[in-house]
Structure formats: C-alpha cells, structure tokens
Structure 1
Amino acid sequence: MNGNPLLDAETTLVGWTNRSAIRNHERTFLSGEEVLLTTKLDAASRFSVVANNPGSAAAVEIQVSFAPVLRDGTIGSWVVAATVALPAEGGRVEAFISGRDIQLNAADLADVDLPAVCFAKAEVSPETPEGMHVGLTATIAA
C-alpha cells in the first residue's frame, strides 16, 4: 500500500509550535530557518502556504522558497515558489502551489533523484511580528 503523500496537518516554517509525535518539546521557528520536510513537495498535486499576522507596526512580506536534496544529502539551490503580503492590521493569506510546477535550478537537475524537493523556508521582511505563523499544508494528494 502506498502512503498518502500529504504534509502533516500543518508544517510550521515560521512561528511557535507545540510538541508533536516527532518532537517532544515546544519550538519557535525563525524567519529564514531551513526546514526538512518528510513529504517531497514535487510529488504533491497541490499544497498551500498559509500565513497569518495578528497585527504589527508595518505590513510584512513573506517569501517562501524550496530546495531539493542532492544525492550527497546536501541542500540544492533555493527557488522562490511564492511571495505573499499581509497588512499591518493583520490578517491571513493562503497561496496555492502545485508541486509539479516547482522549477528546480538547472544546475541541480543532474544531481537529484526526483521527487527531491524536501526543504522549505519562509523569509519574513522587514521583521517577524510577534505571534506570526507561516506554514505549509497539503490540499490534494498526488
């Protein structure tokens, strides 16, 4: 039986998360932190980036990037998959992405075994508001 290639309920890229089945402690993920995913995103039909801002001094922009794992186990080149913005007043935004549409850097193609996209990061600018959360969640199985 093949497993369902979906992300967990939500994989946190920026923000606080409580303990889980795989991590027995609370954790805060920072802007720009590289997150290893258990699901290869280029095998998913569709997933979404979900970002929320409870309110801040200024509007924020979030750039979400992905990278493949190379055959030697290192991280390949980062490619931007989505950029979203949230107003200072706060709010929530969701951007849908098709895993099949992720375009890897041509220099990495000879050194990957597809599917290979299993690293993600979200960079928040100009700064991460307190209470902000950015995550990935699957919407349709492959």
Structure 2
Amino acid sequence: MYTTPELREHGGADAYLRNCVSREVLDLLSSKWVCLVVGALADGPLRFGALRRRLDGITQKMLTQTLRELERAGLVDRRVFATTPPQVEYSLTPLTRDLVVLMEAFRVWAEQHGEEIREARERYDARAAEPRRVVSTP
C-alpha cells in the first residue's frame, strides 16, 4: 500500500520504509505455514493433533513455533482445557477474520498457477544451464 508523503508526516503506515511496523506484519504473514494454519482454522477451532494432521508435512516444532507467533501477534487464541492430559484448542481471533479472505486467495492462486510456475522454473533452469552466447552488434 502506498502512503502519500502527507500521511507519512502524520505517522501513516508505509511498508516501503524500513522502520514501519507493517514490515514485521508482512514478514509474519509471508510464511507458508502461517497461510496454511490460518486457512485450516478458518472453519473453526482445532486441537493441535488435528491441525498437524491437516497440514501435511509440517513438523511438530514448526507448528508449535507458528502457533506461538500467531498467538503473540493476536491472530490466534489458545485455549487449554482442564483434562488429563490437558487438551489445547486453537482458533482464529476476530482480527484474523479479514486475513482469512486474503490467505484463501493466496492459496487458491497458488493451486491454480502452481503448474505454470513449475514450468517457468524448468524453462529458466534449462536456459541457465546453456553456455552463454555473446551477441555482437554489426
């Protein structure tokens, strides 16, 4: 988002400025696991085990780290039930509801265009592996 110079003077957010707090938010949200955790919790609360099963390939350590970061940022609530053993449930906060739409759009776009991206990478890698040719002008 572009912030005009007039807004900068009044403390408006501008992610292009190095000290803008929005950069920290962008850093958090740019994680694939954050995107997938938010998407998995969009339909309602899940316990840790169910969330881990839903996110194929995530390690326990990475899921724990991601959930802690989201909880710290106020995007996920952690609820502990007094059972033996204790049950923990994670859910999205009201702040995250708007974010769900964006994360869903990213996921859908990635699913729709993943093959095109893979093919483009293969073409690039094939070109990069070719010997460089010097083009001379007459």
TM-score of the superposed pair, with normalisation by structure 1: 0.27
Bigger proportion of residues as helix = 2
Higher Cα Rg: structure 1 or 2?
2
TM-score of the superposed pair, with normalisation by structure 2: 0.27
Q: Which has the higher contact order (CA 8 A, sep 6+)?
A: 1
